[in-house]
Amino acid sequence: MINNKLKILNIILFNYNDRVGKILNYSNIFKSSINKLKIEGRYRYFNEIERKAGKHPYASWISKSKNNDIIVWCSNDYLGMSQNKLVVNSMIDSVKNMGTGSGGTRNISGNSSAIVNLENELADLHSKEKAVVFSSGYVANESALSTLLNILKEPVVFSDEKNHASIISGIKKSKASKEIFKHNDLNDLENLLKKYPEKKPKIIVFESIYSMDGDFGDICGISKIAKKYNALTYLDEVHAVGMYGKKGSGLAEELDLQNSIDIIQGTLGKAFGTMGGYITSSNIICDTIRSYASGYIFTTALPPALANAATTSICYLKESDKERKLQQKNTLLLKKYLANQNIDFIDNKSHIVPIMVNDPIRCKEISNILLNEFKHYIQPINYPTVPVGTERLRVTPGPLHSEKMISDLTIALKYAFKKTQNINFKKHA
């Protein structure tokens, strides 16, 4: 009797253990994926910082219950417009008058006069008939591109190989055929276009400034090729709006090519210092996107206060170029200091200065040294934002950085590079 009970118990235990072994352990899967990032040096650590209104580029670093003053060098608030008194007061006054929220989607109860005025201002900024505002630049690209490509009959999209994530996502959400052309390579683009008949719907998607290398897209060359092959042009100007051109419209304006581009996409979250994204184009293209894009139809509209603040910032930068000029001056100054110290950086014509490290773990370590020992804040950039082996510190000097700050940063960088030069980072991975 006892032996039979033991046999039954062993059978039960065996079946239980066998079942447990086959149960999918979700936590282990997620832990494994995180450990993989850490081993490769790609795990992202986010420093908690608190910006100080009126004191840009200073901020507080919240660490170990202490608040340390730091200098921010990696902000996309390129001109410090988020702390411009006119912009700040515009938002404060709007909140007092209209509250904090929009009340819903644009088609239900969120179509405020503030957002309508913003779209009119954006259309004027880019010399287009109409503009459509989205909750972010990412959503603008994803929604506009996927909508256009799904409405056209069996289209082909030609995308620069260095286009960023929101463009790639928008293309993937469509049923369009895709051709990737070599970065800024007009011959490669034209050879790809030649493969398709003239009546085949075609869209060429590219950027005016590529944010990780800081180089310019060939707007003139691509627009000419697009006209030759009857293709629409879609230009992402998110890193250029506010920064270039007489009115701050972007690189297309500076090159007098706005009328050569069919659709211009931009952001309110960088040089304009607020939040949101948009596209500008003809009435019919904008109306099509407004009527079909789920990222527009089914999301809460920008709050009126945010829309008014963005409009104030745009109007201000249409008239004032002192911020742009100071920013350009400081960019040249930083490049001069870096060159004098033989610090490797990509020297392009834009306001973006990528300092090359080319190792993810060393890049993070240099970032830590700058922050912990010198109170200079620059987040490391690694894969998938940039290719493996091209890790960097992306510096964006602004109009409110001083020459002393630039000099101090260069000294700190030289020290950090030297301190980490003999460490075997593969061993420590």
CA angle in degrees (0–180, nearest 5) for 135-49-343: 100
Among the listed residues 128, 270, 335, 364, the single catalytic one is 270
Classify the phi-psi angles of 267: left when phi > 0, otherwise alpha if psi is within -120 to 50, otherwise beta: beta
How far apart CA 98 and CA 101 sit, in angstroms, is: 8
Q: Is 7 a catalytic residue?
A: no
CB count within 10 Å of CB 212 equals 18
Q: Please give the distance of CA 89 from its chain centroid, rounded to a whole number.
A: 26
Partnered with residue 63 across adjacent β-strands are: 66
Give the catalytic positions in this structure. 270
